Amino acid sequence: MMNCPLCNSTSFPFHKGSLGEYERCDTCKGIFLLPQYHLSKDEEKKRYEKHNNNVEDPRYQKFVQPLVDAIMNNCSKEHQGLDYGCGEGPVVSYLLEKEGYDIDLYDPLFYDEKTVFRRDYDYIILSEVMEHFNSPKKEFETLFPMLKPKGKIFCLTELYHENIDFSKWHYKNDETHVFFYDIKTISYISKKFKRPNFEINGRLTIL
């Protein structure tokens, strides 16, 4: 057993499968793959490069449309955004920039532009990103201080709930997905970082 990489609380064995062993936190209820089963950075990059990264693909665009709509409903073109962990094909930024939005890109493997960490943002985009966080505590401690006082983080990820059979859950089968959240995990993050008015709507979470 190890301590939770989000809240540092005690965890317990939860599942053992083809990709490795998972534990679940007793406090924030996050589920995580033990570090010895994580891919190396080179392996991770090769895995991402196999994704469909064509920003012109209508299926890819449709998948992220709820996130794009949420940002357009909450933020204006004058607001500055950051697409964090944007990957090789930053489709959310592509769609928003077509509408006149100004968005910086950051990805540790594909857009490693560290100047973004010296800026403040009205909103930060995490499109299918937070489930890849090896150290979610460190990541969120970096991201929330980068927001302006009324800034928000817009997240697209699948949340776990008790009606899901984890052993059959497709979302865990991506070997780069190492940390999973449920509503209690989101609630922990909201309290920890003083974001009391968080919203969850299906795959979309706004913090």
Count the neighbouring beta carbons within 10 Å of the beta carbon of residue 152: 22
Calculate helix-pair angle for 91-98, 58-74, nearest 10 degrees.
60
The per-residue pLDDT for 41 is: 86
Q: What is the pLDDT of residue 1?
A: 78
The CATH architecture that domain 39-156+185-206 belongs to is: 3-Layer(aba) Sandwich (3.40)
Give the model's pLDDT for residue 86. 93
Give the integer Cα–Cα distance in Å for 63 and 178: 21
CA distance 78 to 113: 22
Closest to 180 measured CA to CA, from 39, 31, 35, 37: 31
Q: Residue 172 corresponds to which amino acid? A: K
- What is the reported pLDDT for 52? 63
Q: Cα–chain-centroid distance for residue 114? A: 19
pTM: 0.94
What is d(CA 166, CA 161) in angstroms, rounded to the nearest whole number? 9
Distance between CA atoms of residues 80 and 151, nearest Å: 10
User: What is the model's pLDDT at position 133?
Assistant: 98
CA distance linking residue 84 with residue 133, whole number of Å: 12
Distance from the Cα of residue 135 to its chain's centroid: 12
Mean pLDDT by groups of 10 residues along the chain of 207 residues: 94 96 98 96 82 79 95 97 94 96 95 95 97 98 96 98 96 96 97 92 96
